[in-house]
């Protein structure tokens, strides 16, 4: 089983991946391909990333049952700790807001 998650990539790259994988949600691809195809899809996506982000996860024989690799900048960082994959949120700068807040509209008098 292979799962690929792409962020901020071109529609043509997403369309190209649908030749081997299904896309049940925008940017999320799932399929069952050989290791050779998995590696070639990874190389193709890395070459055409252009500022986007890419995560690839596949099943393997280890403690967690999967392995993964990442490329590009996302809000979440994948790290290994004693051979286990963990997800860490990247620190934001103190001046960087979480989300833009809208002020309630003022009634005109």
Q: Is residue 14 part of a domain?
A: yes
Q: Give the model's pLDDT for residue 91.
A: 76
Q: Is 79 among the domain residues?
A: yes
Alpha-carbon gap, residue 48 to 52, rounded angstroms:
9
Write down the pTM of the prediction. Answer: 0.77
Structural domain range at position 69: 2-89
Instruction: Give the model's pLDDT for residue 101.
Output: 47
Q: Are 7 and 34 in contact (CB under 8 A)?
A: no
96 in a structural domain: no
The strand pairing partners of 87, in sequence order, are: 78
Q: What tens digit of pLDDT does each residue of 42-96 get?
A: 999 999 998 999 999 999 998 899 999 999 988 888 888 888 889 998 876 656 5
SS3 31: strand
H helices of 1-102, in order, are: 11-17, 35-47
Return d(Cα 107, Cα 44) in angstroms, integer: 54
pLDDT of amino acid 80: 87
The CATH number for 45's domain is 3.30.70.240
Only one residue has tokens 């700790």, namely 81
Question: Is 16 domain-assigned?
Answer: yes
Number of domains the chain contains: 1
Report if residue 43 sits inside a domain: yes
């Amino acid at each position: 089983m292979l799962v690929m998650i792409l962020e901020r990539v071109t529609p043509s790259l997403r369309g190209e991946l649908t030749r081997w994988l299904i896309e049940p949600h925008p940017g999320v691809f799932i399929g069952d391909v050989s290791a050779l195809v998995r590696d070639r899809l990874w190389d193709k996506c890395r070459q055409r990333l252009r500022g986007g982000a890419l995560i690839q996860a596949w099943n393997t024989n280890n403690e967690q049952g999967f392995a993964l690799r990442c490329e590009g900048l996302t809000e979440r960082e994948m790290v290994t700790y004693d051979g286990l994959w963990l997800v860490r949120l990247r620190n934001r700068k103190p001046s960087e807001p979480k989300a833009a807040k809208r002020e309630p509209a003022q009634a005109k008098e």
